Structure 1
Amino acid sequence: MANTGFLSLCAYGRVTGLAVEAGAGVSHATSICLGQTWREATYCLGVAGGFLSNYLHSLLMESPNDPSVLKALKKKTVIQLKKQCCYVSMDYEGDLYDRGFHHPARFQVPDGQWITLDKERFCCPEPLFQPKLVHQSSPGLHHLALQSLQKVPDHARRDTVGNIVLSGGSSMFPGFPERMCLELNALFHGTGCQIQVLASPERGTAAWAGGSMAASLTSFQHAWMAKAEYQEHGAEYVHKMFQ
């Protein structure tokens, strides 16, 4: 059993840092120090890939595209549409109200029909930074990252701030790393701290890659729990074994 934030750090070759995860089902900001997760410095956002796919579909239903084509879209097609066409804006409000900054894209659905995306391209991922757009009261992922860092003890904060890593499929939107960096630097303005984020091209599967790396370590071979042990003692035994 391992925290996905820690595994994401492992994929970047680090054991201390802040993992900003935007996955399929949930998004997290998690601070880790020397392999130990700070539970009080872990924050969750209910906006992630699956949610954004549904949001994109609802946005398209309000667009000028043929409603019959949109209603017939399967979930798999919407996900493909999201991955292929959507991106994160560097200036959401400015782009939203100035059509000159819209960059329409066309997408052919399996039955041969075409869909045109306009502002939907950058509106889709925006709830990661502005959950209020989808009526969620949570702060954006960048604010959660700041809150996580503020919970880290002073002696570990410098190393944590210096190792901010991105992971998860929803971090793969073009512009996501740049926007995260922009927002964090705005939050840290006046502190004299210049924030940088690490964004591996393979960050979409960083947690999986980190898990593979951790499981291959010699030291990890003594940390297994046998299936029989789990069946005998139940789920609570996990916390006793790996506290």
Structure 2
Amino acid sequence: MANTGLLSLCTYSRVTGLAVEAGAGVSHVTSVCLGQTQREATYRLGVAGGFLSSYLHILLMDSTNEPSALKAFKRKPVIHMKKQCCYVSMDYEGDLQNQGFHHPARFQAPDGHCIIRHKERFCCPEPLFQPELLHQSSPGLHHLAWQSLQKVPDHTKGDTVGNIVLSGGSSMFPGFPERMCLELNALFHDTGCQIQVLASPESGTAAWAGGSIAASLTSFQQAWMAKGEYEEHGAEYLHRILQ
């Protein structure tokens, strides 16, 4: 067993850095130092792909599209639409105010209806940075990343901020890496830290790929946990055997 943040870093050939994971059910930020996860520097955000799909459906229902066509819209086509058409804005408030940035995109539903989307394209992923749009009081992913980096030891902070890796399907929205970098640079603007956000075309499966890499290492053998040990001690035992 291994922390998914560490596995995501393995995909990028890193053992020190910050993993920003935006998956289907939940999002996390995890600081890792020389292969050891920093538990006190790990944060969770209850906004991820599933919530964004539901939010997109709500946005479409509130748009100028035909409500009758959208009411019967199944979840799977909404997910396809989200992946095909949505992107992260570099200036959310500005784009909302400027109609010229509401670039339309067409999506044909299974029943033949052609749905034209405008601002919904960049409104859908925005709760990753502004969870209050989904009535959540948590800070956005960039703020959680900043909070995590505050707890990193000073002697490793340079390596950590220079190795911020992205993973999970919700990190694959066009513009997500650039927005994350933009927000973090704004938060660190007076610190002298050099922010580097690493994104891969395979970031959606980064944790899985990292698990494959880690399991092939001889050093990983010490992390094996027997079923009986897990049943006796629970998931907390993992942190003890990895120390």
TM tier, smaller? over 0.9
Q: Where does 1:68-217 land on structure 2 (aligned, <5 Å)?
A: 68-217=68-217
SS in 2 for 1:111: coil
Residue type of the partner of 2:71? K
Indicate yes or no: 2:27 matched with 1:41.
no
Cα shift at 1:42: 0.6
Separation in 1, partners of 2:242, 2:161: 27
Counterpart in the other structure of 2:234: 235
1:122-179 CA distance string (max 9 Å, x none): 0000011111112111111101100000011112111111111111100000000000
1:93-137 CA distance string (max 9 Å, x none): 111011011101010011111111110000000011111112111
Residues 129 and 141, structure 2, Cα contact 8 Å, conserved in 1: yes
Which TM-score applies when normalising by structure 2? 0.95
Separation in 2, partners of 1:236, 1:160: 26
Alpha carbon RMSD of aligned pairs, Å?
1.5
**Among the aligned pairs, what percent are the same residue?**
80
Cα shift at 1:222: 4.1
Which TM-score applies when normalising by structure 1? 0.95
- Any gaps of 5 or more consecutive residues in structure 1? none
- Any gaps of 5 or more consecutive residues in structure 2? none
Separation in 1, partners of 2:142, 2:196: 13
Cα shift at 1:241: 4.1
Cα shift at 1:221: 3.0
Going from structure 1 to structure 2, the CA distance change for 1:222 and 1:132 (only over 3 Å counts) comes to closer
1:209-236 CA distance string (max 9 Å, x none): 00010001122234323335545x3526
Residue type of the partner of 2:158? R
SS in 1 for 2:170: helix
Residues 11 and 207, structure 2, Cα contact 8 Å, conserved in 1: yes
SS in 2 for 1:213: helix
Going from structure 1 to structure 2, the CA distance change for 1:106 and 1:236 (only over 3 Å counts) comes to closer
